[in-house]
Amino acid sequence: MKSKISMDKPVVEMDGDEMTRVLWAWVKEKLLMPYVDLKTEYYDLHVLNRDKTNDQVTFQAAEAVKKWGVGVKCATITPNAERVKEFNLKKEWPSPNGTIRKILDGTVFRAPITVKSIQPAVRFWKKPIVVARHAFGDIYDGIGIRFEEPGSAEIVYKSEKGNEKKVSYPKFSGPGVLQGVYNLDKSIEGFARATFKYAIMNKMDLWFATKDTISKVYDARFKEIFNTIFEKEFKEEFKKLNINYNYYLIDDAVARVVRSEGGFVWACKNYDGDVFSDFVSTAYVGTLALMTSELFSPEGYYLSEAAHGTVQRHYYRYLKGEKVSTNPTALIYAWTRGLKRRGEIDGNKDLVNFSLKLEEAVIKTIEDDRIMTQDVANLAEPPIKAVVTSEEFIDAIKKNLEKLLKL
């Protein structure tokens, strides 16, 4: 046995809930710790620990990413009324992802993990489509009022210096709801730069789309910022690499995405990104478990996670002693991407190489061995050699990994 790969600096590890917590531990135990002298700064984001710490642990974990630069996150429960009852929580704590994204102010890039045996539902798609989601503001930090009678409302902005701006909603003729949302230039600029840089790094075209014909102040500001930053900072580099920046109206973009052959980054505002990342991933690979999710912040902070949730239904079956076939691929990729990033920052080639080999081992297991979990088997073209449990799948990956590492 060769010696383990060492790490200079830790990655921030955020543990999570339910089935993904179980898989998280297995992935570490079987696929990471035997080969890497894993250094992590551990934060337990289990819903009960968030409750116990009044959610402080979530804030501490996000701050730790600012300190160390790199974090990996397991899926976590966002409590709703049912969950409050189930776990006897003090309250419906906010989404940890929301909290963390707000603190890091990053852009989330979601890309399908493509395997040859799964054909995209959209038959024109040949190359991956990466959805870049602005992870700050809009309805995710919006406020709302439900009103019961006819009336009126206005939005008043007061500057710290005492300047005031006011706009009125149309008169309300009866009961209804209203909403106020905001964003900040600095965050939109960070979003724009992150997506231009990602496009350059991966030599892909960049698409950006909003509804600026209707949202003449809000969305128009996004468009303006993207154009200005492109012209000033990225136009030359794009030209050199022979890649393009295209702005569309969001509905036009959707039609074009479906008719395209893929191979570009699609920058989306927060809500569009929430919806279209699920749309693209489902249409591309059919399961959120074959999807990477990476957050890049303007300051260079990085967080990787799985795009799916805690897979509650599988967990309850697992608790009853059933063997489950939950797919750990996205969780494995959360680790490989985090460790790769750590290795790149620290100049640790062995760690980078290990991460790439582990990803290769996952793909080999599905593509060449044709061993897969149930969700993938439901989508894959025959032949399928074996539909396996999570543990068996991890063991099959481990075999391929050891071959690739020549152990």
Q: Which residues bind ligand NAP (CB under 6 A)?
A: 75-78, 97, 288-289, 305, 308-313, 326-327, 375
User: Which of ligand NAP, Mg ion, none has residue 308 at its interface (CB below 5 to 8 Å by kind)?
Assistant: ligand NAP
Query: Shortest approach of Mg ion to residue 376 CB, angstroms?
Result: 20
Buried b (16+ CB within 10 A) or exposed e, 248-282: bbbeebbeebeebebebbbbbbbebbbebbbebbe
SS3 content of the chain, % helix, strand, coil (to 5): 45, 20, 35
Nearer to Mg ion, 21 or 308 (CB): 308
Closest CA to 22 of 324, 406, 361, 375: 324
The alpha helices in 131-269, defined as continuous H runs, are 185-201, 218-229, 235-241, 250-259
| 246 three-class SS | strand
DSSP of 47-84, one letter per residue?
HHHHHHTTTHHHHHHHHHHHHHSEEEE-------HHHH
The item of Mg ion, ligand NAP, none sharing an interface with residue 22, based on CB under 5 to 8 Å by kind, is none
Min dist CB 289 to Mg ion, Å, is: 14
Only segment of 56-64, 200-208, 274-282, 383-391 that touches Mg ion (CB under 5 A): 274-282
Strand partners of residue 127:
262
Give the binding range for Mg ion (CB under 5 A) out of 69-77, 147-155, 241-249, 268-276.
268-276
Q: Using CA atoms, how far apart are residues 405 and 298, in angstroms rounded to an integer?
A: 35
Instruction: Give the span between the Cα atoms of 112 and 125, in whole angstroms.
Output: 12
Question: What residues from 317 to 376 belong to the interface with Mg ion (CB under 5 A)?
Answer: none
For Mg ion, the closer CB: 138 or 274 = 274
| Residue 333 CB, nearest approach to ligand NAP (Å) | 11
Return the range that interacts with Mg ion (CB under 5 A); candidates 25-33, 266-274, 348-356, 368-376: 266-274
Binding mask 107-136 for Mg ion (x = CB under 5 A): ------------------------------
- Name the binder of 274 from ligand NAP, Mg ion, none, CB < 5-8 A by kind: Mg ion
- Piece of 7-15, 77-85, 276-284, 310-318 that binds Mg ion (CB under 5 A): 276-284
The footprint of Mg ion on residues 147-176 (CB under 5 A) is: none
- Residue whose pair of structure tokens reads 């709801």 in the numeric block: 177
Q: Tell me, what DSSP letter sits at residue 307?
A: S
Cα distance between residue 16 and residue 21, in whole Å: 5
Residue 187 site contact among Mg ion, ligand NAP, none (CB < 5 to 8 Å, cut-off depends on kind):
none
326 binds, among ligand NAP, Mg ion, none (CB under 5 to 8 A by kind): ligand NAP
Q: Site for Mg ion (CB under 5 A): which residue of 278, 344, 360, 402? A: 278
CB of 275 to Mg ion, least distance (A): 6
Helix 390-404 / helix 349-367 crossing angle, nearest 10 deg: 120
Which residues sit at the interface with Mg ion, rule CB under 5 A? Answer: 274, 278
